[in-house]
A and B are shown apart, each in its own frame.
Chain A
Amino acid sequence: MRVELRADPFDPYAELARFEAEQPGQAGKHGATSIFVGTMRDVNEGETVRTLWLEHYPGMTERELSRIADEASRQWPITQALVLHRIGAIQLDETIVLVATWAVHRAAALEATRYLIEELKQRAPFWKKETLDQRARWVEHNTPG
């Protein structure tokens, strides 16, 4: 299990490849990989969004993410999990979050990844502030899945 906060932009696909390369013992051990990539988009609630600021609670955020990953690994027979989440200033089209799980079969991987992203959105202490054309606003709630 790996959970990390990132202050700089990252390529989720390069991160996946690197993470797999760092798990040589896992070669041949999983038959399914499920990934979710959340990306900064240009519209929210009908208004054009220019940039995003992601605030977090240092310490608690990492703790809550690790707890969610532990819960997923207890509920499903996943062999690995990776959660990377941006903090700070984010530009259009940059990756905000990457969640990936590996398992022998697809059901465990698909369900565990869904659980991780949904619980993260409900529980992990992150807050988004959007810069619009003329003003900035805090996002008050996440959109339903």
Chain B
Amino acid sequence: MSIRIRYFASLREKMGRVEEHIAPEGIATVSDIWKAVNQGRPLPDNLLCAVNMEYAEATTAVSDGDEVAFFPPVTGG
């Protein structure tokens, strides 16, 4: 199993990928995931995140099989 990470909009372009998967070992929170794929840098304040399509915080717990998404502020309507 693994954790699926998805990126949207300007962040997707900046990351250069739509999604990736990482092994759950050593991952407890959303913040841990961001750090794992960004050389240990903290999650920027201006990004939003979701776990299994529900809005989440940096401290939200994640586990194997979860889908975690990172994206910029939303601009619909």
Q: Which of A63, A117, A128 contacts B75 (CB 8 A)?
A: A128
In the complex, per-residue mask of B1-41: 1 if CB is within 8 Å of any chain A CB, else 0: 00000101110000000000000000000000000000000
What's the count of A-B pairs with C-beta under 8 Å? 70
Nearest chain B residue, comparing its CB with the CB of A99: B77
State whether A127 and B53 are in contact (beta carbons under 8 Å apart), knowing that A120-B77, A139-B75 are contacts in the complex: no
Q: Is the CB of B72 within 8 A of A138?
A: yes
Q: Is the CB of A54 within 8 A of B76?
A: yes
5 residue pairs of the A-B complex, CB under 8 angstroms, read A60-B54, A121-B74, A125-B8, A127-B10, A127-B75
Binding site for A on B (CB under 8 A): 6, 8-10, 50, 53-55, 69, 71-77
Binding site for B on A (CB under 8 A): 38, 54-57, 59-60, 63, 85, 96-97, 117, 120-129, 138-142
